[in-house]
């Protein structure tokens, strides 16, 4: 062992430093504290933020520019998100939003928020949040980002609506890197689907970037166009994708694909890519919340109707009523209970809750470990109670 350690780069220096510290009576606890502080500043549990600007993007979309109330914001990778905590009419809840600004812009995070019909948090952020308001969030999280070691340099990003947010961050990152290295390190084909022509988020900026940077190619698609619209229209089809990306198997396999949009959009694009024989490991999908209509997902118990109401007992604490088509975490929050959470899409497992009795429906998004499943744990952000249940918090 001694010989092996001596061969490690820096071992001798560290040993010498240790001996010096022993002489002065130091036991490394200060160093441990420094390490812990450095880690906490890079991966803080909570950020105290302030809205420094509200930018109108389209009729349905705004970007909130958030700065740190004090000190610096932690760094992030283009494509990551923060989970924003809010209290609306007494309900404490949170939603994850991808950062749409460049990681090099270290003074602020941009969150691009689109109005959703009946959206509890998004509509609150759009209608009630103003400059100088204070907000709290997690630090940057998530694995939906470009990895230069494994992803290669030929990227395809398929974005639907506000799914453009992480794509914009990646593109701005590529612009800055191109400037820094004086050459393109990657190229990206952005396939960008929007519902309406006047609702294309970042349209002017992206058009300008496409004109000025040859690493970027954009295919614009409008699914519900005006009669006068002359561009590509309708839902993205297999034929579209083949025409846009070609059929050369080797070329298709060498690309890295990122998909971000609604849950239905992910499923659709995932199917198209698999039909195109793209391997699953070449596709990164950013999950975006729980499924909207769980009763339509295969495996949902037939006898349970979406409008059914069940009782949730919280062991030793109380109980409340909830509809079966509402994610457990949402109904818990509405009734004053909580669980730590970040992705709200079944991925991070922070919101685990133990089901003591009764049944819940876990859609495919709930990436449950088999042991969790075996011992009755669920990811409450994407779990739907399908009978009266008792849970342990």
CB of 330 to ligand FES, least distance (A): 11
- Half-sphere exposure of residue 185, counting CA atoms within 13 Å on the CB side? 18
> What's the gap between Cα 187 and its chain centre?
22
Q: Closer CB to ligand FES, residue 245 or residue 260?
A: 260
Shortest Å, Cβ 265 to ligand FES? 20
Half-sphere exposure of 296 (CA within 13 A, CB side): 5
CB of 46 to ligand FES, least distance (A): 15
Q: CB of residue 260 vs ligand FES: minimum separation in angstroms? A: 17
Quick one: 66 or 383, whose CB is closer to ligand FES? 383
Residues in contact with ligand FES by CB under 6 A are 341-344, 346-351, 379, 381
- Specify whether the CB–CB gap between 57 and 120 falls below 8 A: no
Choose between 145 and 377: whose C-beta lies nearer to ligand FES: 377
Cα separation values, 195 from 160, 175, 222, 232, 357, Å: 9, 27, 5, 12, 43
Least distance in Å: CB of 346 to ligand FES? Answer: 5
In the bound state with ligand FES, the residue whose beta carbon lies nearer, of 141 and 241, is 141
Burial profile 114-138: b = 16 or more Cβ within 10 angstroms, e = fewer: bbbeeebbbebbbeebeeeeebbbb
Could you tell me the two tokens for 243? Answer: 């025409």
Nearer to ligand FES, 199 or 365 (CB): 365
At 322 the three-state DSSP class reads strand
Decide: helix, strand or coil at residue 233: strand
At its nearest, how many Å lie between ligand FES and the CB of residue 325? 17
Q: Which is nearer to ligand FES, 153 or 349 (CB)?
A: 349
**Contact (Cβ atoms closer than 8 angstroms) between residue 167 and residue 258:** yes
């Amino acid at each position: 062992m001694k010989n092996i350690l001596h061969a490690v780069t820096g071992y001798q220096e560290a040993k010498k430093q240790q001996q010096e510290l022993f002489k002065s009576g130091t036991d490394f606890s200060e160093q441990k504290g420094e390490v812990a502080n450095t880690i906490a500043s890079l991966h803080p549990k909570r950020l105290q933020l302030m809205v420094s600007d509200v930018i109108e993007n389209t009729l349905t979309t705004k970007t909130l520019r958030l700065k740190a109330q004090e000190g610096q914001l932690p760094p992030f990778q283009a494509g990551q998100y923060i989970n924003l905590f809010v209290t609306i009419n007494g309900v404490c809840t949170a939603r994850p939003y991808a950062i749409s600004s460049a990681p090099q812009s270290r003074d602020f995070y941009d969150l691009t928020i689109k109005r959703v019909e009946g959206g509890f948090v998004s509509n609150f952020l759009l209608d009630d949040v103003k400059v100088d308001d204070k907000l709290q969030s997690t630090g940057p999280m998530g694995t939906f980002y470009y990895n230069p070691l494994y992803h290669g340099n030929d990227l395809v990003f398929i974005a639907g609506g506000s799914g453009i947010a992480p794509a914009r961050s990646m593109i701005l990152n590529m612009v800055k890197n191109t400037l820094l290295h004086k050459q393109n390190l990657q190229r990206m084909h952005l396939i960008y689907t929007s519902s309406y022509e006047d609702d294309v988020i970042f349209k002017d900026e992206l058009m300008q970037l496409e004109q000025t940077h040859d690493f970027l190619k954009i295919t614009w698609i409008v699914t519900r166009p005006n009669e006068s619209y002359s561009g590509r229209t309708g839902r993205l089809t297999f034929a579209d994708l083949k025409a846009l990306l070609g059929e050369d198997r080797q070329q298709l396999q060498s690309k890295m694909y990122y998909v971000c949009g609604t849950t239905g959009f992910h499923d659709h694009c995932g199917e198209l890519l698999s039909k195109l024989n793209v391997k699953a490991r070449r596709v990164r999908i950013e999950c975006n919340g729980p499924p909207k209509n769980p009763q339509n997902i295969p495996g949902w118990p037939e006898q349970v109707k979406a409008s059914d109401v069940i009782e949730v007992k919280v062991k030793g604490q109380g109980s409340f009523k909830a509809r079966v088509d509402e994610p457990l975490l949402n109904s818990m929050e509405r009734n004053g209970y909580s669980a730590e959470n970040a992705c709200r899409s079944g991925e991070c497992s922070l919101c685990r809750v133990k089901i003591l009795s009764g049944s819940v429906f876990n859609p495919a998004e709930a990436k449950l470990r088999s042991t969790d499943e075996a011992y009755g744990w669920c990811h409450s952000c994407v779990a739907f109670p399908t009978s009266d249940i008792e849970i342990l918090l």
